[in-house]
């Protein structure tokens, strides 16, 4: 068994590709091929909190599953702590923790403690140390005192915390978290972020996938933006914002703007993207262009008779950067349009 | 975080000790996880009701259609019940995991897969044995089954061996069910084949040649014959040969199952079929 | 909704369900393969007991085919509800603008019609493998018998479905009803040979009369008029019972909020 090279990245992905073959139709089945991941490469340094950010269906979960040995890449290589995910699966599995969000993944009819004890066995934690380890983890995630209740009675937040405890039982060096804050209320989500930050502070490496842009911005040391199976941007939050720093956003408040008017804006040569947010009585148009505030007059004339309220020109946020990236790198119109209405979080 | 910072020792995953712990303690704990679809108040009637009705159906059909006594059919079906558990056990264990969505979490651990799933389906096999005994009881009380005195030990041994070999084919089928969306299909097919080809209701020599071949290749056939003879009073010296054959058949299927399981797990990783319900 | 619209809806739902069932390996097994295995089993049993080949084959093929119809009805109607509950669509359907009982009619008849494909398969089995002669003593009555059987089974299926809508664990217990009904309905073992206290139950079941109607037209000594009449009569009774149950069940479900629970 090879030992990892000193100074080597904790996680390496090199040209990962993943294609699914499936069928459509019932009686006459036609095979179709879906390319979920189309050549992803990145490195995560030890002790880093790395974010994979992208809309639903971008390939985040597929990428993570390849890294944790649950899926074989169609082509490409990946290594965790220096061990190849295809050849050295046992070595990889021993060193990683896997935390995923959502409702499933725990045994509902037994207690939280039973769930942890079971996985402690599966991870090979020495029996004599299980009690101590579990108690410490329960303390960390704030479930002390609730561990003997059946999981089916846990709230979503409690389940998530149990997932995290489960992923840490064997003291892994690298932790993979797949959309951990999904479905959590703001308080729960914030606690989760604190827990994740404390893990990294303790020296763990964490790879996190999310479609909440602000979460990636707040938490991660570096972010890779994924769209349609490819990485479209990689860097710190500041780097990503810098990329469109010269793209001032013009925010126009309108009342009853028509689709044709918005299309006229989109169709203009100088406009890169138009995002619309519905408020109760009004719509806010966020217009990105290279010309920044100089374009305001032109936009107003394009809007024609539309009643206009406030007009503001401002610096782009990470969300604007994200929207721009997704909109300009999508596969097709529909995908771009969907991605353009990304969650505010 | 200080308590967490203390290093922990782990059992290496490729060792026998690790496999044993995963199997035994994992299996014990999985007992509580067993009742996932239904509370015990539902599970137990289902467990007992099915075999009860099956017993009476074939006893009625068999004694109406042929000259054979109801007892003949009762013994065949009573033994088949525990075979059922063996065949379904693995499929149920995997279906269990799919229900809770825990397969990804399980398979991301370094635990030995054979030990893991063996521990999960043991409860089903245990239940199967108990229900078999219950079915025999029904046969004795209602259908004229007579167990020769002193035959319990030999008949019991034959039964255990039969359950083992059916579990082996169940494991093989379970490995296949990793691929299929509907794991119950194969399990039902195997159980029904056993009903037809293995002498449960029709003696092998009354079936056409090719069916006899199938019956002899399937598990259960020799074991059942051993149970029938033992119940009629035959001793170990007479049925020993049959039991031995059943053991060999079981081992053959177990080896196949293991090979297929390893191959299919890798293939499942290639084709991403793990999470499919 | 107009009568035409209603019929069109029911037709659509029926075929939608047939397609869903075709896509399920489980139902393929249940409806097509399982009856063949039981038919083979039954055939060898009867043969060793000395039955005549021709009559026996048809008797066995029809009986085993009907066993498949019952399984499909049971799992297709009752199981469909359980499946919807699991998928989370039950709540949506019950609260849909269209009357739920129309959807239900489509679903149950879809399952029953699908089940009758199984009889066709079993008959083909007999012809191809054993050279069974396809004959009917009363060929003109046979289509009427089939219709009667389908209608009464479909109505019984509705009653099963409505009962399953509310009772969460009905599916598990429903599984138990395969063997007993096969026996009590006299599909392979005549009702007359059953204990006297079972027979009244047999007379209340759709499969019993459906089998009698079909069997009577195919190999019976006299036309199965009583059986056909009983089929339609029972169909009405089941349908009324199903409607009443549905009203009660929907009210209770809304009160107790159990439609979405697993």
Rounded mean pLDDT, A280-307 = 81
Beta-carbon separation of B61 and C26 below 8 A: no
Q: Both ends of chain A: CA-CA distance in Å?
A: 44
Query: What's the sign of the alpha-carbon dihedral C119, C122, C127, C128?
Result: positive
Per-residue pLDDT for B125 more than 80?
A: no
Kind plus residue range of the DSSP H or E element containing C217 = helix C206-219
Q: Between C192 and B113, where is the model more confident?
A: C192
Q: What's the pLDDT at A258?
A: 86
Q: Between C256 and C211, where is the model more confident?
A: C211
- Interface list for A 101-130 with B (CB within 8 A): 102-110, 114, 117-119, 121-127, 129
Rounded mean pLDDT, A190-197 = 88
Whole-angstrom Cα distance, residue C124 to residue C132? 9
Q: What's the pLDDT at A338?
A: 44
Rounded mean pLDDT, A258-265 = 87
Whole-angstrom Cα distance, residue A142 to residue A136? 10
Query: Token digits for A115?
Result: 């769930």
Q: Which residues of B178-202 are buried (b: 16+ CB within 10 A; e: fewer)?
A: bebebbbbbbbbbbbbbbbbbbbbb
Whole-angstrom Cα distance, residue C209 to residue C214? 9
List residues of C whose CB lies inside 8 A of any A CB.
19, 22-23
Is residue B59 a contact partner of residue B70, using CB atoms and an 8 Å limit? yes
Q: Is residue B161 in some structural domain?
A: yes
Query: Token digits for A6?
Result: 């000193």
Characterise C96 by phi-psi region: left (phi > 0), alpha (psi -120 to 50), beta (else): beta
Considering CB atoms only, which of B3, B106, B107 is closest to A136? Answer: B3
Rounded mean pLDDT, B19-40 = 69
Q: Is residue C262 in some structural domain?
A: no
User: For residue C137, which of C227, C58, C223 has the smallest C-alpha distance?
Assistant: C223
Q: What's the pLDDT at C162?
A: 81
- Print the domain residue range for C19: 3-256
Average pLDDT, chain A: 82
Q: What are the angstrom distances between the C-alpha of A264 and each of A268, A292, B206? A: 6, 18, 83
Backbone angles phi, psi at A2, to 5 degrees: -80, 150
Helix, strand, coil proportions of chain B in percent (round to 5)? 75, 0, 25
HSE-up of residue A290 (Cα within 13 Å, Cβ side): 3
pLDDT band at residue A205, thresholds of 50, 70 and 90? Answer: very high
The pLDDT tens digits for A164-180 are 999 999 999 999 999 88
Q: What's the pLDDT at C11?
A: 76
Q: Between B17 and C97, where is the model more confident?
A: B17
What is the number of structural domains in chain C?
A: 1
Whole-angstrom Cα distance, residue A320 to residue A217? 12
Q: Is residue B2 in some structural domain?
A: no
Q: How many CB atoms lie within 10 A of CB B39?
A: 10
Name the neighbours of C, counting chains with at least 3 Cβ pairs within 8 A. A, B
For B185, nearest residue in chain C (alpha carbons): C26
Q: Is residue B104 in some structural domain?
A: yes
Is residue A68 a contact partner of residue A90, using CB atoms and an 8 Å limit? no
Q: How many CB atoms lie within 10 A of CB A45?
A: 14
Considering CB atoms only, which of B100, B104, B110 is closest to A94? Answer: B110
* A222 has a chain B CB within 8 A of its CB: no
pLDDT band at residue C262, thresholds of 50, 70 and 90? Answer: very low
Q: Which residues of C touch A27 (CB under 8 A)?
A: 22
User: For residue C17, which of C110, C80, C90, C93 has the smallest C-alpha distance?
Assistant: C110
Q: What's the pLDDT at C211?
A: 93
Per-residue pLDDT for A266 more than 80?
A: yes
The pLDDT tens digits for C198-208 are 999 999 999 99
For A26, nearest residue in chain C (alpha carbons): C23
| Residue that is written with structure tokens 């009856």 in the block | C35
Q: Which residues of A touch B29 (CB under 8 A)?
A: 110, 114, 117-118, 121
* A198 has a chain B CB within 8 A of its CB: yes
Q: Which residues of A touch B272 (CB under 8 A)?
A: 20, 62, 65, 71
Is residue B29 a contact partner of residue A110, using CB atoms and an 8 Å limit? yes
Q: How many CB atoms lie within 10 A of CB A160?
A: 27
Average pLDDT, chain C: 81
Per-residue pLDDT for B163 more than 60?
A: yes
Which of these ranges, A189-198, C93-102, C154-163, has the smallest mean pLDDT? C93-102
Q: What's the pLDDT at A6?
A: 57
Rounded mean pLDDT, A252-264 = 87
Q: Residues of chain C with pLDDT > 70: what percent?
A: 81
User: For the packed helices A112-122 and A127-141, what is the interaxial angle rounded to 10 degrees?
Assistant: 130
CB proximity list for A309: less than 8 A, separation 6 or greater: A253, A254, A255, A282
The pLDDT tens digits for C52-109 are 555 677 888 899 899 989 988 888 887 666 666 666 676 666 666 556 777 778 778 8
Q: CA angle A132-A136-A142, nearest 5°?
A: 145
Cα distance from A25 to chain C (closest Cα, Å)?
9
Q: Is residue B153 in some structural domain?
A: yes
* A139 has a chain B CB within 8 A of its CB: yes
Torsion of CA B241, B247, B250, B256, to 10 degrees: -100
Q: What are the angstrom distances between the C-alpha of A62 and each of A34, A228, A246? A: 12, 12, 34
pLDDT band at residue A345, thresholds of 50, 70 and 90? Answer: very low
Per-residue pLDDT for B277 more than 60?
A: no
Name the neighbours of B, counting chains with at least 3 Cβ pairs within 8 A. A, C
Q: Is residue B10 in some structural domain?
A: no
Beta-carbon separation of B188 and C194 below 8 A: no
Pick the CATH number of A246-315 from 3.30.70.890, 3.30.70.870, 3.30.70.260, 3.20.20.10: 3.30.70.260
Q: Between A245 and A222, where is the model more confident?
A: A222
Beta-carbon separation of C172 and B37 below 8 A: yes
The pLDDT tens digits for A144-156 are 999 898 888 888 8
Whole-angstrom Cα distance, residue C48 to residue C161? 40
Residues of chain A within CATH 3.40.50.300 domain(s) are 11-236
Per-residue pLDDT for A1 more than 60?
A: no
Q: What are the angstrom distances between the C-alpha of C70 and each of A67, A319, C35, C113, C173? A: 48, 58, 10, 11, 15
Per-residue pLDDT for A206 more than 90?
A: yes
Cα distance from C48 to chain B (closest Cα, Å)?
6
Q: Which residues of B touch C44 (CB under 8 A)?
A: 202, 206-207
Q: Which residues of B touch C26 (CB under 8 A)?
A: 182, 184-185, 188
The pLDDT tens digits for C218-230 are 888 888 899 999 9
pLDDT band at residue B91, thresholds of 50, 70 and 90? Answer: confident
Highest mean pLDDT out of A236-245, A273-282, B21-30: A273-282
Cα distance from C23 to chain A (closest Cα, Å)?
6
The CATH-assigned architecture of domain A11-236 is 3-Layer(aba) Sandwich (3.40)
CB proximity list for A265: less than 8 A, separation 6 or greater: A271, A274, A285, A287, A299, A302, A303
For B64, nearest residue in chain C (alpha carbons): C189
For C24, nearest residue in chain A (alpha carbons): A26
Q: Which residues of C touch A26 (CB under 8 A)?
A: 19, 22-23
CB proximity list for C167: less than 8 A, separation 6 or greater: none
Residues of chain A within CATH 3.30.70.260 domain(s) are 246-315
Is residue C152 a contact partner of residue C109, using CB atoms and an 8 Å limit? no
Interface test with C, best of B41, B52, B56, B57 (most C CBs within 10 A): B57
What is the number of structural domains in chain B?
A: 1
- Print the domain residue range for B185: 15-271
Cα distance from B10 to chain A (closest Cα, Å)?
5
Q: Which residues of B touch A127 (CB under 8 A)?
A: 21
Rounded mean pLDDT, B152-172 = 86
Whole-angstrom Cα distance, residue C164 to residue A13? 50
Helix, strand, coil proportions of chain C in percent (round to 5)? 80, 0, 20
Is residue A64 a contact partner of residue B261, using CB atoms and an 8 Å limit? no
Q: Is residue B255 in some structural domain?
A: yes
Cα distance from A154 to chain B (closest Cα, Å)?
15
């Amino acid at each position: 068994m090879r030992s990892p090279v000193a100074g080597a990245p904790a996680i390496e992905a090199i040209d990962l590709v993943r294609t699914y073959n499936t069928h459509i139709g019932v009686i006459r089945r036609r095979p179709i091929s879906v390319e979920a991941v189309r050549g992803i490469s990145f490195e995560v340094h030890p002790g880093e909190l790395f974010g994979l950010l992208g809309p639903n269906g971008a390939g985040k979960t597929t990428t993570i599953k390849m890294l944790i040995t649950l899926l074989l890449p169609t082509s490409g290589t990946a290594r965790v702590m220096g061990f190849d995910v295809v050849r050295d699966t046992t070595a990889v599995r021993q060193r990683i923790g896997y935390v995923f969000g959502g409702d499933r993944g725990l045994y509902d009819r037994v207690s939280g403690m039973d769930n942890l004890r079971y996985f402690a066995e599966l991870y090979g934690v020495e029996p004599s140390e299980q009690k101590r380890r579990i108690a410490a983890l329960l303390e960390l995630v704030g479930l002390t005192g609730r561990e003997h209740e059946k999981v089916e009675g846990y709230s979503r937040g409690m389940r998530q915390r149990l997932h995290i405890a489960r992923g840490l039982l064997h003291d892994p060096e690298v932790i993979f978290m797949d959309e951990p804050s999904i479905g959590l209320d703001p308080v729960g989500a914030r606690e989760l972020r604190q827990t994740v930050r404390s893990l990294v502070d303790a020296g763990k490496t964490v790879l996190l996938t999310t479609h909440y842009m602000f979460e990636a911005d707040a938490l991660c040391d570096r972010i890779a933006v994924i769209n349609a199976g490819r990485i479209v941007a990689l860097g710190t939050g500041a780097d990503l914002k810098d990329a469109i720093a010269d793209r001032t956003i013009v925010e126009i408040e309108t009342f009853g703007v028509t689709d044709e008017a918005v299309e006229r804006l989109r169709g203009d040569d100088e406009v890169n993207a138009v995002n619309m947010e519905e408020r109760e009585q009004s719509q806010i148009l966020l217009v990105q262009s290279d010309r920044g505030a100089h374009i305001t007059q032109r936009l107003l004339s394009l809007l024609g008779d539309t009643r206009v309220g406030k007009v503001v020109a401002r610096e782009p946020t990470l969300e604007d950067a994200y929207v721009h990236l997704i909109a300009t790198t999508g596969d097709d119109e529909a995908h771009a349009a969907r991605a353009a209405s990304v969650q505010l979080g | 975080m200080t308590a967490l910072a203390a290093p922990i020792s782990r059992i290496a995953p490729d060792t026998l000790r690790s496999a044993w712990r995963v199997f035994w303690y994992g299996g014990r704990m999985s007992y509580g996880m067993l009742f996932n679809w239904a509370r015990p108040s539902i599970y137990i009637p289902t467990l007992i009701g099915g075999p009860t009705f099956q017993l009476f159906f074939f006893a009625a059909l068999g004694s109406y259609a042929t000259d054979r006594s109801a007892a003949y059919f009762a013994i065949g079906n009573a033994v088949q019940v525990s075979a059922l558990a063996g065949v379904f056990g693995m499929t149920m264990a995997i279906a269990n995991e799919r229900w809770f969505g825990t397969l990804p979490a399980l398979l991301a651990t370094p635990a030995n897969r054979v030990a893991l799933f063996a521990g999960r389906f043991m409860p089903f096999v245990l239940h199967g044995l108990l229900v078999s005994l219950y079915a025999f009881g029904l046969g004795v009380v209602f259908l004229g089954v007579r167990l020769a005195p002193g035959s319990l030990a030999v008949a019991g041994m034959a039964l255990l061996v039969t359950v083992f070999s059916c579990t082996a084919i169940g494991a093989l089928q379970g490995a296949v069910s990793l691929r299929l969306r509907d794991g119950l299909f194969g399990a039902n097919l195997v159980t029904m084949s056993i009903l037809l080809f293995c002498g449960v209701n029709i003696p092998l020599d009354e079936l056409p040649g090719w069916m006899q071949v199938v019956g002899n290749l399937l598990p259960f056939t020799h074991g059942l014959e051993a149970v029938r003879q033992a119940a009629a009073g035959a001793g170990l010296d007479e049925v020993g040969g049959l039991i031995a054959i059943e053991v060999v058949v079981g081992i053959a299927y177990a080896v196949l199952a293991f090979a297929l399981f390893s191959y299919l797990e890798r293939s499942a990783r290639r084709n991403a079929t793990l999470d499919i319900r | 909704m107009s009568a035409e619209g209603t019929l069109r809806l029911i037709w659509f739902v029926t075929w939608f369900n047939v397609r869903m069932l075709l896509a399920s390996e489980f139902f393929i097994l249940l409806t097509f393969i399982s009856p063949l295995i039981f038919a083979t089993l039954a055939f060898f049993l009867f043969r060793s007991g000395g039955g005549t080949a021709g009559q026996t084959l048809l008797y066995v093929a029809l009986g085993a085919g009907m066993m498949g119809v019952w399984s499909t009805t049971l799992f297709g109607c009752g199981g469909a509800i359980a499946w919807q509950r699991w998928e989370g669509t039950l709540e949506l359907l019950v609260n849909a603008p269209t009357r739920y009982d129309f959807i239900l009619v489509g679903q149950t008849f879809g399952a029953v019609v699908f089940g009758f494909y199984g009889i066709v398969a079993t008959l083909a089995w007999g012809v191809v493998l054993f050279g069974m002669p396809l004959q009917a003593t009363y060929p003109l009555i046979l289509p009427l018998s089939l219709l009667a059987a389908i209608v009464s089974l479909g109505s019984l299926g509705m009653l099963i479905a409505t009962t399953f809508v509310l009772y969460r664990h009905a599916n598990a217990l429903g599984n138990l009803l395969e063997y007993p009904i096969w026996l009590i309905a006299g599909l392979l073992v005549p009702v007359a040979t059953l204990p006297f206290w079972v027979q009244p139950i047999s007379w209340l079941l759709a499969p019993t009369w459906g089998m009698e109607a079909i069997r009577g037209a195919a190999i019976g000594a006299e036309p199965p008029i009583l059986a056909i009449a009983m089929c339609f009569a029972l169909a009405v009774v089941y349908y009324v019972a199903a409607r009443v149950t549905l009203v009660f069940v929907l009210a209770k479900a809304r009160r107790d909020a159990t439609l979405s629970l697993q």
